[in-house]
Amino acid sequence: MIIKRSVPWHTCSTYNRLAHVLERLGLALIGASCGLFVAGVSSIDLIGSAQVVLAMMLYGAAGFYLGIDLPQAHHMHLQRPHGLGISADRLELLTAAGTFLIAVVTVVSISNIVLGETVSARTAGIIGLSWVISATMQIAVGVIARIKLARAAETAKRALFFE
């Protein structure tokens, strides 16, 4: 679910803020469980240790927390440095692609776990790499959108101050 806030965060009611934070934490938990399922495709011996599983869970949580709910990115054309533009539509497409790919990889992982199939080390590596790329897409887009939004807000604030 992608929520678009049309009003600034500071004008939202306490209940609205609480609902938004709870939803984002729920999304982070979903991302963490995706990491857990992908890690579960292969035995822990194959991917390293419990620390690797925990890292995958935290990375998945960050991906879903940052990438699923882009803050007001659809209201502006975000500019990259050096004049190269990236539209909000492209950002949303990238985060949607990351979410979709994570979902596909997670479904494949869960089906292997439920059906009791053992995957080869190569297949497990492909599944893990696909998951990491997808989560990285979500994290990168979420960070880019937030940086660009902060810069746009700062520019708007300066424009109001100097008028």
- pLDDT value, residue 136: 92
Hey, where are the domains in the chain? 9-162
Q: Mean per-residue pLDDT for 2-18?
A: 65
Q: What pLDDT does 133 receive?
A: 92
Amino acid at 152: A
- 150: CB partners within 8 A, 6+ apart: none
Tell me: pLDDT of 124 over 50: yes
Please name the residues in contact with 68: beta carbons below 8 A apart, sequence gap of 6 or more: 1, 2, 27, 95, 99, 138
Name the residue with higher pLDDT: 2 or 135.
135
> Minimal CA–CA distance to 152: which of 94, 96, 88?
88
| 3-state secondary structure at position 5 | coil
pLDDT digits (tens, 9 = 90+) for 64-76: 888 877 765 444 4
Domain at 9-162: CATH code: 1.20.120
What's the rounded Cα separation, in Å, for the pair 127 and 55?
Answer: 16
